[in-house]
């Protein structure tokens, strides 16, 4: 009887521990899915677009050299520096997502920033891969940001409202190259 009770308690404990662990599944852009294929010879070409608050913006061309199929994406890359290490945070946006981000920036500039909400408010655009760009109110004024990785609080790049104009220009340039 004691063995049964101990076995039951151990099983129950294992189930409780397993239920409490949450998995953070990383969502992927189409370009990330394409570049992660196995059994291919992948070539990556990086073209620098510009820098914004130490965040590098690049166009990436992926080519499967065996089948000669191609995919392109926009890459945001930021080095998070802590007291002990440097971690590179990155996000890839597919061409259609670049267009969506551009529309979102225009809407924020034209319709969101002229308002002064009475309550704390957030407005954001999110890509398939978890990249997020948006704004929030802080003490009656709007603050803007990019978040490169969905589940990583260290991947924030905080911008000024004026930086969105520069970002939009970079996005226009990148869009013509994708």
Domain ranges within the chain, ordered by starting residue: 30-177
Using the structure block, give the residue that is written with the tokens 């002990």: 84
Give the tokens for residue 47. 């073209």
DSSP 81-131: E-SS-EEEEEEEE-HHHHHHHHHHHHHIIIIITT---SS--EEEEE-TTS-
Instruction: Give percent of the chain above pLDDT 70.
Output: 85
**Per-residue model confidence (pLDDT) at position 10:** 56
Give the global pTM: 0.82
Give the separation between CA 25 and CA 28, rounded to whole angstroms.
9
**Per-residue model confidence (pLDDT) at position 172:** 98
Segments of the chain scoring below 70 in pLDDT: 1-26
30-177 CATH fold: Secreted effector protein pipB2 fold (3.30.2450)
**Per-residue model confidence (pLDDT) at position 21:** 43
Give the tokens for residue 26. 């990383």
SS3 109: helix
Do 102 and 175 form a contact (C-beta atoms < 8 A)? yes
Provide CB contacts within 8 A for 97, sequence distance 6+: 29, 74, 127, 128, 131
**Per-residue model confidence (pLDDT) at position 144:** 97
**Per-residue model confidence (pLDDT) at position 176:** 96
Do 161 and 113 form a contact (C-beta atoms < 8 A)? yes
Provide CB contacts within 8 A for 95, sequence distance 6+: 72, 73, 74, 175, 178
Do 51 and 58 form a contact (C-beta atoms < 8 A)? no
**Per-residue model confidence (pLDDT) at position 139:** 84
Q: How far is CA 129 from CA 30, 43, 91, in A?
A: 9, 21, 7
């Amino acid at each position: 009887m004691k063995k049964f009770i101990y076995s039951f308690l151990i099983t129950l404990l294992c189930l409780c521990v397993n239920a409490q662990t949450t998995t953070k599944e990383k969502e992927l852009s189409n370009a990330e899915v394409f570049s992660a294929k196995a059994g291919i010879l992948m070539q990556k070409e990086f073209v620098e677009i510009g820098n914004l608050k130490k965040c590098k913006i690049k166009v990436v061309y992926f080519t499967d050299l065996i089948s000669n199929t191609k995919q392109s994406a926009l890459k945001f890359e930021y080095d998070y520096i802590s007291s002990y290490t440097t971690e590179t945070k990155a996000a890839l946006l597919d061409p259609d997502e670049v267009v969506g981000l551009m529309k979102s920036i225009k809407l924020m500039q034209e319709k969101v920033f002229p308002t002064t909400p009475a309550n704390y408010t957030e407005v954001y655009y999110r890509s398939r891969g978890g990249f997020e760009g948006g704004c929030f109110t802080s003490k009656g004024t709007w603050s803007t940001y990019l978040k490169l990785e969905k589940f990583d609080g260290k991947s924030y790049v905080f911008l000024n409202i004026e930086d969105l104009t520069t970002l939009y220009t970079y996005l226009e340039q990148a869009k013509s190259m994708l």
